[in-house]
Amino acid sequence: MTLTPMDAAGRTAPPVTVAGRDFPTNRGGLCKKGWTSAELLRAPSRLGAPLVRGADGAFHEASWGDALDLVAGSLRGIRSAHGADAVGVFGGGGLTNEKAYVLGKFARLALGTSRIDYNGRYCMSSAAAAGNRAFGIDRGLPFPLEDLDGASTILLLGTNVAETMPPFIGHLAGAQAAGGLVVVDPRRTATARLTDDGRGLHVQPAPGTDLALLLGLTHVVIAERLADADYVDARTTGFDAVRRSVASWWPERVQSVTGVPALTLRRLARRLASGEGTYILTGRGVEQHVDGTDTATAAINLALILGLPGRPGSGYGTLTGQGNGQGGREHGQKCDQLPGYRKIVDPDARAHVAGVWGVEPDAIPGPGVPAVELLQSLGRPGGVRALLVHGSNLVVSSPNVEAVREGIARLDLLVVCDFFLSETAALADVVLPVTQWAEEEGTMTNLEGRILRRRRAITPPGGVRDELWILSELARRLGSTATFDTDPELVFEELRLASEGGIADYSGIDYAMLDRGEAAYWPFPRGSAGTPRLFAERFAHADGLARLVAVSVREAARPRPAEGELTLVTGRLLEHYQSGAQTRRVPELDEAQPEALASMHPATADRLGIADGDDLELANGRGTVRCRARLTPDIRPDAVFLPFHYGDEQAANLLTSDAVDPISSMPEFKTNVVRVTRLVGAGALA
């Protein structure tokens, strides 16, 4: 795909071409979103100047100086009247490592606020919490993705990689050929259809019952003496408690809860324990729940009891969702963390980072509150009165969207940095246009914990600015004495120092080695060769042992649809990404999937008097979504699927709950109860 863009002076600029690179993870392949990504660089709707909302309620273009003066002046006033924690910052998992690092530093030093979190809270937080609890470290894949090529068995739990990251499926070919690809999903997704040749297995549990399924698998492994006893004894602690916790989850009981036949459960457990080359991988489908941390923990327990983590040719991992989902959570935009994945409450961590920043440790605020709690506080007494948003579309991607919209309406100031006038930017007081991926330098960290260089390929339009520059200018206007570099390489050099000695240690990496194409997997302490494979000899806890943690099913966490109700399952489409703020602006992608469709089983539709293409209303106590019906046998009769890429009245998160996991603060995205009715007459869609 080639474009002919114009430069800032209106002259024809060199064409922009997107091509796949022969790289170990994707081997030159891209998905539709990648092949069409250059269209966004010169999209007609791209923002080209700061926008300020006037007294008339409309946006008006402003100079950068005037816009930043207005923002800084408003922030000073709000801090003076209500305190530093009245200013909140909301980041994103798509920001470069450099931007994520500076955003955390800016919040804590220039603003003095503890109120910072990011949209990775909605994506990776349960997997991260479970990984930290079990292994003492959170890296999505603790091994290079290429290791999967030699697998004979791969268990995929709650992930539809064939649509969310199509190049990934090339790494499943070995397990497919060996008849060992197992997909657990309540829908028969494109990934589940990879097992249609009969050599693999699609397991289709009732929505929200993944934890019971995993407890049942662990029960079978222990009861049939399939566990790796030597590994468990030498490398883990906590086995007896886990053994007791799964004792009551015999296969027939699991069948009564999940709908998965007991015979299938036994067959799967035996396959997982059948020999070398077994991997267990989790995704958002089993993690985006109020018991998501426990579910991810149950998957880790199963992997540990089978002796998989750290063993050559086997392993456990979780698949990162956003573009920089891994790096985005390592360097300080989470409310409880400092750079290097350090805990903000750790005195030694605070002292180290304060030394790099040139401040006293007491100058760094303590822990803030996670994303949902931060948003619930918007405009309330003692809560956030001003919010700065970077790389997130809150009123589409957040749970209980209507409550978030109401909170934003109560704010004194909303500032959004974006490429386009997203649904959230459209509500802002000030919108600041920023550079896109091909127009900036920096680094990203992929799902393997490998640090990658982002290189500037084209000159950005004259009216946009890089967020490093924006934050530096705002810090100067706010009177901060801290240093905020605008050169990404200088920022990375500071990040290296700040991360040194931390869990996510980048101190041995620099731009020069990345530019030479050298592989860099963290932890990468100064003088080392990095760590492509974790856990070969020890885990990251002080004693080197992994923690087996007993977990249990909480009945209150499971949806209980009443007569006439269905369980809502939300998820992704091949053509769109996250809130759709970018992909819905690519004509090819938008034309392929222009609207949200509610997928339901034909038997369910017949019972409800619904035909394919009918106008529907999905409703519960939080909100209402209007869309069209799509009938498919690929979903369970007790569920309805809705993609979450759409805004306004088709925003799936109008229906999702802002109840959260007590450990990770992950909201309940996947299993909410809705009533589905057919719209007729004047109530139907136009």
Residue 500 above 90 pLDDT? Answer: yes
Residue 41 maps to a domain: no
Where is average pLDDT lowest: 239-243, 323-327, 583-587, 616-620? 583-587
Residue 644: its pLDDT value, please? 86
Where is average pLDDT lowest: 36-45, 243-252, 514-523, 645-654? 36-45
pLDDT in tens, 193-248: 999 988 899 999 999 999 999 999 999 999 999 999 999 999 999 999 999 999 99
Closest C-alpha among 600, 606, 608 to residue 628: 600
pLDDT in tens, 361-376: 999 999 999 999 999 9
Residue 359 maps to a domain: yes
Q: What is the CATH number of the domain that holds 562?
A: 2.40.40.20
Residue 4: its pLDDT value, please? 41
pLDDT in tens, 240-284: 999 999 999 999 999 999 999 999 999 999 999 997 899 999 998
Residue 346 maps to a domain: yes
Residue 438 above 50 pLDDT? Answer: yes
pLDDT in tens, 615-661: 999 999 999 999 999 999 999 999 999 998 889 999 999 999 999 99
Residue 542 maps to a domain: no
Residue 45 maps to a domain: no
| Higher per-residue pLDDT: 385 or 3 | 385
Residue 85 above 90 pLDDT? Answer: yes
For 642-667, the three-class secondary structure string (H helix, E strand, C coil) is EECCCCHHHCHHHCCEEEECCCCCCE
Q: What are phi and psi of 565, to 5 degrees?
A: -110, 160
Residue 13: its pLDDT value, please? 55
Cβ-based burial of 475 (10 A; exposed 0-12, middle 13-18, buried ≥19): buried
Residue 301 above 80 pLDDT? Answer: yes
Residue 61: its pLDDT value, please? 98
Residue 534 above 60 pLDDT? Answer: yes
Last residue of a domain, one of 278, 295, 318: 318
pLDDT in tens, 50-84: 999 999 999 999 999 999 999 999 999 999 999 99
Q: What is the CATH number of the domain that holds 295?
A: 3.40.228.10
Q: Are 335 and 370 in contact (CB under 8 A)?
A: yes
Check whether residue 208 and residue 148 sit in a common domain: yes
Residue 21 above 90 pLDDT? Answer: no
Check whether residue 276 and residue 151 sit in a common domain: yes
Residue 661 maps to a domain: yes
Under the phi-then-psi rule, with left for phi > 0, alpha for psi from -120 to 50, and beta for the rest, what region is 501?
A: left
| Total residue length of the chain | 686
Check whether residue 269 and residue 329 sit in a common domain: no
Check whether residue 382 and residue 344 sit in a common domain: yes
Residue 34: its pLDDT value, please? 80
Give me the domain span that covers residue 627: 557-683
Closest C-alpha among 95, 105, 166, 119 to residue 454: 95
Reported as type and span, the H/E element at residue 624 is strand 624-631
Residue 180 above 60 pLDDT? Answer: yes
Residue 217 maps to a domain: yes
Could you identify the residue written with the tokens 């966490």?
557
Distance from C-alpha of 203 to C-alpha of 210, rounded to nearest angstrom: 11
Cis peptide leading into 523, omega within 30 of 0? yes
- When pLDDT is averaged across residues 389-402 and rounded to a whole number, the result is 96
Last residue of a domain, one of 461, 481, 515: 515
Task: Give bridge partners of residue 184 from the DSSP assignment.
Answer: 157, 203
Check whether residue 350 and residue 436 sit in a common domain: yes
Check whether residue 329 and residue 313 sit in a common domain: no
Task: Give bridge partners of residue 59 from the DSSP assignment.
Answer: 53
Check whether residue 367 and residue 464 sit in a common domain: yes
Check whether residue 117 and residue 131 sit in a common domain: no
Query: At 592, is the pLDDT very low, low, confident or very high (cuts 50, 70, 90)?
Result: confident
Query: At 3, is the pLDDT very low, low, confident or very high (cuts 50, 70, 90)?
Result: very low
Last residue of a domain, one of 300, 318, 336: 318
Residue 636 maps to a domain: yes
| Higher per-residue pLDDT: 592 or 599 | 599
Residue 1: its pLDDT value, please? 32
Closest C-alpha among 636, 627, 615, 617 to residue 675: 617
Task: Give me 657's structure tokens.
Answer: 């709950």
Query: How many domains are there within the chain?
Result: 3
